[in-house]
């Protein structure tokens, strides 16, 4: 870019210097935008396309999570002046444990019967085995939320014990 002064300027540089400028041209060259290195890797996830070694400012990449993992944040990140925006996080699923169910005297509600994995945030329905009731609540039906790979199994106890 080339700029020209439209009005003369006067500069007093010291008590014995005086500069009167009326015809000066400035050539301003914009600095090249910084490039980004390869984008960061994420646990339990990957880029949807193989990474490059460098990316221009303004470029973007997209992530996906491993099976049953919940993508938290934006699936797309951007290169801006040599820095990537924040990558997403892949939150692990809850895995149903038959041992925990047996230990707590609960069964899976029919709707969930064939599922083993549950996404972070999903609700899972349980009920007490026959002749059992909830140890804390006295009820026999429960909805438990999967939170970051953890299911808090309800506990049922035998009636009369």
pLDDT in tens, 147-157: 999 999 999 99
pLDDT at 15: 52
Strands (E), 7-140: 9-14, 17-21, 25-27, 36-37, 45-47, 54-55, 60-65, 70-72, 76-80, 83-84, 89-91, 94-95, 106-108, 117-118, 123-128, 132-134
Range 29-42 average pLDDT: 87
* Percentage of the residues of the chain whose pLDDT score is greater than 90: 69
* Statement: residue 1 has pLDDT above 70: no
The string of pLDDT tens digits covering residues 88-147 is 999 999 999 999 999 999 999 988 888 999 999 999 999 999 999 998 888 889 999 999
Please tell me which residue, 140 or 11, carries the higher pLDDT value.
140
The CATH superfamily of 94-158 is Complement Module, domain 1 (2.10.70.10)
The reported pLDDT for the residue numbered 13 is 47
Domain residue spans of the chain: 36-91, 94-158
CATH class of 36-91: mainly beta
pTM of the model: 0.70
User: Do the two domains 36-91 and 94-158 of this chain adopt the same fold?
Assistant: yes
- 81-101 pLDDT tens trace: 999 999 999 999 999 999 999
pLDDT score at 139:
86
Phi, psi of 118, deg, nearest 5: -135, 135
Q: Which of 10-24, 48-62, 91-105 has the weakest average pLDDT? A: 10-24
């Amino acid at each position: 870019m080339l700029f020209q002064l439209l009005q003369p300027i006067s500069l007093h540089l010291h008590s014995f210097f005086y500069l009167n400028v009326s015809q000066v041209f400035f050539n301003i060259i914009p600095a090249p935008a910084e490039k980004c290195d390869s984008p960061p890797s994420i646990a339990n996830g990957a880029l949807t396309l193989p990474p490059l070694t460098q990316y221009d400012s303004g470029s973007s990449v997209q992530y996906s999570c491993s099976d049953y993992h919940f993508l938290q944040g934006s699936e797309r990140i951007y290169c801006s002046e040599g820095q990537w925006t924040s990558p997403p996080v892949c939150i692990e699923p809850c895995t149903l444990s038959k041992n925990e169910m047996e230990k707590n005297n609960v069964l899976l509600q029919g709707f969930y019967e064939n599922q083993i994995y549950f996404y972070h945030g999903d609700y899972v329905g349980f009920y007490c085995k026959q002749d059992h009731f909830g140890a804390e609540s006295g009820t026999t039906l429960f909805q438990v939320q999967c939170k970051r790979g953890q299911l808090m199994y309800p506990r049922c106890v035998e009636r009369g014990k």
